Structure 1
Amino acid sequence: MTRVLLATRNAKKLTELRRIVEAAGVDGVDIVGLADVPEFPEAPETGATFAENAIAKARDAAAATGLPAIADDSGITVDALNGMPGIFSARWAGRHGDDDANLWLLLGQTADVPDARRGAAFVCAAALVTPDGAAAPDTPDADGEIPGRTVVHGTWRGTLLREPRGENGFGYDPIFQPEGETRSSAELSSEEKDASSHRGRALRALVPHLQALRADA
């Protein structure tokens, strides 16, 4: 059994990745979270992009634990705010992880934005870093890649709602209506969200790389 660390303390993210791996039929991979490994110092997110933050988190986790590690960085980008909150989504109101404060601040900032200009997108970058990749220098090879480090992306377009709806999601889910939907992201079932969401798309893109890890074990 190959253990792979998802570098998060968010139980919902851990459950989501386990569902995706199971649905993809990947055998022999045990997804564990930070609560399942000894604690190690977690560096603050200082990258300028979602990808930089995801790589840094996965690299630190792989180096500290000796396990292949997955980390993601995601957030909401609002067209009328020139792509913000973006990488600052989790701390938009000033304190990291205060979902309610972040949501209501964003709604206040866009209160005067007309319906036709309320386009938004959830964006996710997910990185898989092996222990060898964590120890590798940050200089890309001739193909522009660093062996042992993989980064994938997922985007989910939609519209920013004017008030929260639904109880199934977290973060900005209650005020995001995906394209082609009449419901908010927080009104979708877990299976529906996995099939369409930014994180679901990014994590599914990592499945072949998880299968390769299992084959190499």
Structure 2
Amino acid sequence: MVAVKSARILRLPLPAQPAARADWEARRLLRRLGWPALLAAACLAMACAGWWHAQTMAAQRMALLARIAATSSTPAVAARPPLDEEERIKPTQTSLPPHEALPEQLQLLMQAARDSGISLAKADYKPQQEVRANVLRYQITLPVKAKFSNVQHFIVNALQSMPTLTLESMTFRRERIESGTVEARIQLVLLVRKAITR
């Protein structure tokens, strides 16, 4: 029986400096093939990159066309005509307190003043009718003499407890710099719904 010798593993010696070896091989191929071959290889690489880009763009185009077709097949929602001014104001008007609730609203204002340590000696208020809305504006003028912190506390309390009350203007005067009290003139506006006339 003949003994079979195991095949020897072929070992290729690796160059000590692979970068230098690759540079030498590239120069040798360039000398052997010349510049036209290098230019042809560059053109081939550019053609492959262009082909890949064209395939990608074609796939994206097909996806966009499919999305457009799906969107156009769904029925369009009919656009609502724009609301006129009266329809836009209506929800706001219904949230306003009625004209009949004016005494309760003024009581809330007096309560906010008492809670802030302010006594309201007098208050002037006059109605101003809105022409194009079902709303009455009551301009309330309050002359107040108190500490500045109390006046500030009163304004914050009144605005928080009465959502339809707005601060229109406020002026302060102090007789002396060292004085702790200020004379304030506060102008507020209270919005209510007009009384229904029959």
TM-score, structure 2 length as denominator?
0.18
Structure having the higher helix fraction is 2
Q: So what's the TM-score if we normalise by structure 1?
A: 0.17
The structure with the larger Rg is: 2
